[in-house]
């Protein structure tokens, strides 16, 4: 197994190991520290010694031993004297020659644990993206349109709040489920977004994260089959991920949707996603995930880029803007309006976004502006916008794509 394959395996196992260790020992913050040390040990040892027979059990065993060491340390003893004294009722540390806990998947429980009611919604999202999604503080910051330092502070405070709350590591009671579900859905949505267009590194699509987000959302849908927002989110993921094979060329470069080979789209996923959103729309209040899924379905059902129902998509983005104040939604709405009423109409909407600090330093804003300026015939303005977008892009493939647009417009024309 290559180093890259081991890294992907560790990313997939990390939330399961953290969930198992935290459930067994009841110390979320120490369990995360111990899990990270176990992952580091595996990253060093497995490429050299080969995979253990049971990789997940190996990680749980190493993390449990490390957690025991942490709890027994002087610092942990001072902070947790009362908790340590009650370990007999919570569960004893894993013995050196003992077996790991039962081979279950605690990831869904971990999702709800990270959406603890003592945390603010944004802290819930940041903590879960770190603990369950395995994203770095920089990746989370870009996903939340905030700074890396702010994310780090939120995660630190969130872990401290969970530690001080002493809330059992378990699914919430039925009467608490609804209030904590929104944060869980937001977290899954952001994890999927990071997989769809990776904010860092050299890879545009992270299929491992997408598969994990879809797996977790499926598990949530199975637990809550009548919740229309859960169904809407699963539909959105399926309909969007259905296009992933066509989003990159063989060399890994980005292929815009209008240029994609639609024969590569996953028709089974499109059919499943369309059925889910069709059933979810009439049920309960209409929420943002159902609307976004409906937009994705319109894209997926079009036989060609020219056949896309842009008036309906523009109308749905208008509905979405009424549901949530999100500058990225406003950006997509401007694109849809431009497809219906021309680039100048879209540029007028972009002008209103120009002062919004949540989006005006994002490469997406400048890339869209460049595209619309080019369609409007303003080559010089388009060049400036594409250059700004390329400077702000943090993913290598995004940078390459935007620099190709710059090079294309800079190239001298011949009569």
Q: Which residue has the tokens 């388009």?
A: 382
The yes-or-no verdict on residue 273 having pLDDT over 70 is yes
The string of pLDDT tens digits covering residues 146-160 is 789 999 999 988 888
| Contact present, 308 and 257 (Cβ < 8 Å) | no
Domain 309-415 has CATH 1.25.40.10: yes
> What integer pLDDT is reported at residue 101 of this predicted model?
40
Decide which of 225 and 201 is more confident. Answer: 225
At 35 the three-state DSSP class reads helix
Q: How far apart are CA 186 and CA 133, in angstroms?
A: 12
Using left for φ > 0, alpha for ψ between -120 and 50, and beta otherwise, residue 284 falls in left
Q: How far apart are CA 189 and CA 310, in angstroms?
A: 24
Decide which of 100 and 131 is more confident. Answer: 131
The string of pLDDT tens digits covering residues 276-305 is 999 998 887 889 999 999 999 999 999 999
For residue 334, give every residue at least 6 positions away whose Cβ sits within 8 Å of its Cβ, in sequence order, or none. 346, 347, 349, 350, 353, 368, 372
Q: Find the range with the poorest average confidence among 91-105, 162-176, 282-296.
A: 91-105
> What integer pLDDT is reported at residue 337 of this predicted model?
97
Q: How far apart are CA 153 and CA 114, in angstroms?
A: 16
Rounded average pLDDT over 333-341: 97
DSSP letter, residue 170 = S
What are the b/e assignments for 86-121, b being 16+ CB within 10 Å?
Answer: ebeeeeebbeeeeebbeeeebbbbbbbbbbbeebee
Decide which of 344 and 112 is more confident. Answer: 344
CA dihedral 129, 133, 137, 140 (to 10 degrees): -60
pTM: predicted TM-score of the whole model, two decimal places: 0.76
> What integer pLDDT is reported at residue 89 of this predicted model?
35
| Contact present, 185 and 229 (Cβ < 8 Å) | yes
Q: What is the mean pLDDT of the chain?
A: 84
Q: Give residue 346's pLDDT band: very low, low, confident or very high (50, 70, 90).
A: very high
> What integer pLDDT is reported at residue 412 of this predicted model?
65
For residue 37, give every residue at least 6 positions away whose Cβ sits within 8 Å of its Cβ, in sequence order, or none. 62, 63, 66
C-alpha angle 398-349-342 in degrees, rounded to nearest 5: 85
DSSP letter, residue 395 = B
């Amino acid at each position: 197994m290559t180093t890259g394959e081991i890294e992907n395996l560790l990313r997939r196992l990390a939330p399961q190991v953290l969930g198992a260790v935290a459930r067994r020992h009841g110390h979320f913050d120490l369990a995360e520290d111990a899990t990270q040390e176990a992952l580091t040990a595996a990253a060093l040892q497995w490429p050299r010694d080969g995979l253990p027979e049971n990789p997940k059990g190996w990680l749980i065993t190493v993390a449990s031993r490390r957690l025991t060491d942490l709890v027994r340390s002087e610092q942990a003893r001072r902070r947790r004297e009362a908790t340590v004294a009650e370990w007999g009722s919570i569960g004893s540390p894993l013995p050196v020659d003992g077996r790991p806990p039962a081979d279950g998947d605690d990831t869904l429980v971990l999702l709800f644990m990270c959406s603890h009611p003592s945390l603010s919604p944004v802290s819930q999202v940041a903590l879960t993206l770190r603990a369950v999604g395995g994203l770095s503080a920089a990746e989370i910051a870009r996903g939340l349109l905030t700074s890396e330092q702010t994310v780090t502070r939120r995660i630190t405070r969130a872990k401290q709040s969970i530690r001080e709350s002493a809330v059992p590591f378990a699914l919430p009671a039925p009467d608490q489920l609804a209030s904590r579900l929104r944060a869980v859905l937001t977290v899954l949505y952001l994890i999927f977004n990071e997989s769809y267009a990776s904010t860092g590194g050299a890879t545009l699509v992270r299929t491992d994260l997408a598969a994990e987000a879809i797996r977790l959302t499926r598990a949530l849908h199975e637990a809550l089959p009548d919740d229309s927002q859960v169904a809407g989110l699963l539909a959105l993921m399926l309909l969007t991920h259905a296009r992933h094979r066509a989003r990159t060329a063989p060399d890994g470069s980005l292929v815009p949707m209008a240029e994609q080979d639609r024969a590569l789209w996953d028709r089974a996923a499109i059919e499943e996603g369309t059925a889910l959103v069709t059933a979810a729309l009439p049920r309960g209040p209409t929420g943002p995930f159902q609307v976004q899924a409906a937009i994705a379905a319109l894209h997926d059902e079009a036989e060609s880029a020219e056949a896309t129902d842009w008036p309906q998509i523009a109308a749905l983005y208008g509905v979405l803007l009424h549901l949530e104040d999100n500058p990225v939604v406003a950006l997509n709405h401007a694109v849809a309006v431009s497809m219906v009423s021309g680039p100048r109409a879209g540029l007028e909407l972009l002008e209103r976004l120009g002062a919004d600090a949540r989006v005006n330093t994002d490469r997406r804003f400048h890339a869209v502006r460049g595209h619309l300026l080019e369609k409007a015939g303003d080559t010089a303005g388009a060049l400036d916008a594409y250059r700004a977008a390329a400077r702000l892009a943090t993913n290598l493939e995004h940078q390459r794509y935007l620099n190709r647009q710059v090079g294309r417009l800079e190239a001298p024309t011949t009569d």
